[in-house]
Structure 1
């Protein structure tokens, strides 16, 4: 086990023999660290937290810290992180709160760049990318393959759909539909269309992308249709599209409302 002699390791931690702990890192009580995970110099892993395999936590990151929530009274809430994630310098990830289900969850193969913040009770899927200084308030949910540009700020309880791409410096106060490309300041955020490049990179077929584009136009660019009617029309016109069905289900389930403004061009 490669643990630097200056690292501070609390009793009761479980660290896999193949893990590496750098100089002056602090591992608090109740932390479990999986195989081949590397913890950089001066970083802090708070507990209770379960860190999976092959994660890289860079210097000065704080992972599993106590939530910034006035309701938190020291309960044993937790952070659960999957495998293959990269957490860059000065990023912060906080544990959950009792009222929020007690867990913050990070999936697999996510990239959280420098100074990003994941607040209490957030749920991130797989292959999520958060660029520098992107910030999530509490209880945010992010689907697989979603990308947040630099300085994006997301309001609490917002859902961000899978395969969506949010441009830098955007303020997000409502749900972000899956598969969409969007950007803008809060209350002025607009959808540009579907995230065609991201979808193709993820392996979706040309036909799947074409059907999603058709669903997008029916829902967001057919002004004479009410949203409920547009949803029904999408399911009728694209009955075999799993992506179109998921888009409708996501929008139908929205509690905060979803971003609807669309660029005119």
Structure 2
């Protein structure tokens, strides 16, 4: 049995609307994307295979929203928005439902022309559109995953995504067709800090952490400063940025 037949038959037997449901299952197993109570936005969600998987994983405490220009048949526990994800009205409708998202995902692919370089370029364009939505919706620490076809623009695409997240990796699920050039970019840990690694700033140490580091705030963002004490005003260099806090060293 070919890989295509295997996952197609499994989807029919297990009640999934598309074989691509197994891609999200495998991406989740690899990158730990979904969890109980999470808020998930699926872009280009029709017919709904990814929505089914997401809803199963986040449970009743979670929120799952599917966005597509095509109609998505109703699914228990899932909200759907019919519209173009690049339009403000659609974004506003999604934001009204979710506020912020923990995961934004996309299994979208362009209409295939059979010209490899053109299909690759169009897939990159779709990822960039999905990324724009993700950066608008994701909470600090949130994750983004999107399908793209391998090709010459992949490295530039990754380079544009990487500064916005802790890291980006390529994942090729087994459920993808053997002949396909598709892969998924998984970006973990949305960064929203007002400072970047290597920056030098002057901060006031307002408290002391459990391990003795000084604590400073930059526009509400927490920095742990080694060797600093509460009440000091010090110049520091940013060494490491995490979604909700960072680490800095005193500049001597």
Q: Same fold (TM over 0.5)?
A: no
Greater fraction of residues in helix: 2
Q: Tell me: higher relative CO, structure 1 or 2? Use CA pairs within 8 A at least 6 residues apart.
A: 2
